[in-house]
Amino acid sequence: MTNPLRLDTAIREFLQDARIRGSSPFTLAYYERVLRYFREKTAIETVDQITVSACKEYLLTLMDGDLASSSVQTYVRGLRAFLNWLYANEYIETNVTQRFKLPKAQRKVIDVLTDTEIQTLLNSFDTTNFHQLRNLCIVLLMLDSGLRLNETITLRQDRFHLAERYAIVDGKCNKQRIVPIGSSSVPFFEKYLSLKPPSAFLICKRDGEQLTADTVKDLFRKLKKITGISRLHPHLLRHSFATRYLENGGNIYNLQTILGHSSLEMVKKYLHIDPRSICKTFDNFSPVVCIQKASNN
């Protein structure tokens, strides 16, 4: 009888296959993290020990811990990808994921940047300084074109077409897409390009080396202090871009293309209407206000 595949070996093969399929380093690191956590929190040593019951017990462990509901979903989603791979490759006989569903996550309102905060953020850079100008361009790529952090630091110089105001971005799973560049951003990019050293990457260090994700995260920690916007982080700029795009009358199908999502449902889940904009226009639709206006006429 063939010995059952060890869990460690299966995880290693799964990560190898994910790499061959073109998963990004960030996705690979995510899979490795959530599967390592699964291995540590269960007594499972071989894949034949993975059952629906064992997975449900693991889910309860996650839910009883300190993780937010959205983080629990993140851990379960990675595990489900692994379980699907095991079943597809006939390492397990039961399609566990059919009976191991994602738990519901608490739906949180994303407090996107206000117009005043956006202006404060943009005004916090000294554009006579190379590093400050580069950092402003990082913010503009995220806030005015909707790029993710990794997409920003991997954007290649030869795919940035400033005259035509678009860039070709390598998104998740190596899917390329075209994103627009706003006309207000053009002067800052023109100045930055005149100062930046030769490099394969648009966003680079003074010596032409590619910026790391940790460097950008450190930038945002500093920007929190400078601007006083304590909730500031890279992905909030993408959220703010998407929300403002729709509020300004942008087409949701065009937004789907810009964001690089494979389905419209993903865009709908990603986006929300800023409650502040609802409050600003509420008097136009308030039953009491409208009645009072009518009676005064």
- What lies within 8 Å, CB to CB, of 190 at 6+ separation is 162
Q: Residues of the chain with pLDDT > 90: what percent?
A: 58
Helices 234-247 & 213-227 angle (0-180, nearest 10):
70
Condensed to tens digits (0 to 9), the pLDDT of residues 201-237 reads: 999 999 999 999 999 999 999 999 999 999 999 999 9
Q: Which two three-digit tokens encode residue 288?
A: 């009491």
Measure CA 88 to chain center: 28
pLDDT band at residue 27 under the 50/70/90 scheme = confident
pLDDT band at residue 1 under the 50/70/90 scheme = very low
pLDDT band at residue 285 under the 50/70/90 scheme = low
Rounded to whole angstroms, how far apart are CA atoms 68 and 62?
Answer: 9
Q: In 3D, which of 195, 82, 212 has the Cα closest to residue 130? A: 195
Condensed to tens digits (0 to 9), the pLDDT of residues 95-121 reads: 888 887 777 656 666 788 999 999 999
Condensed to tens digits (0 to 9), the pLDDT of residues 250-271 reads: 888 888 889 888 777 767 655 5
Query: If 0-12 CB within 10 Å is exposed, 13-18 middle and 19+ buried, where does residue 260 land?
Result: buried
Helices and strands counted in the chain (H then E): 14, 3
Mean pLDDT of the chain, nearest integer: 87
Measure CA 87 to chain center: 28
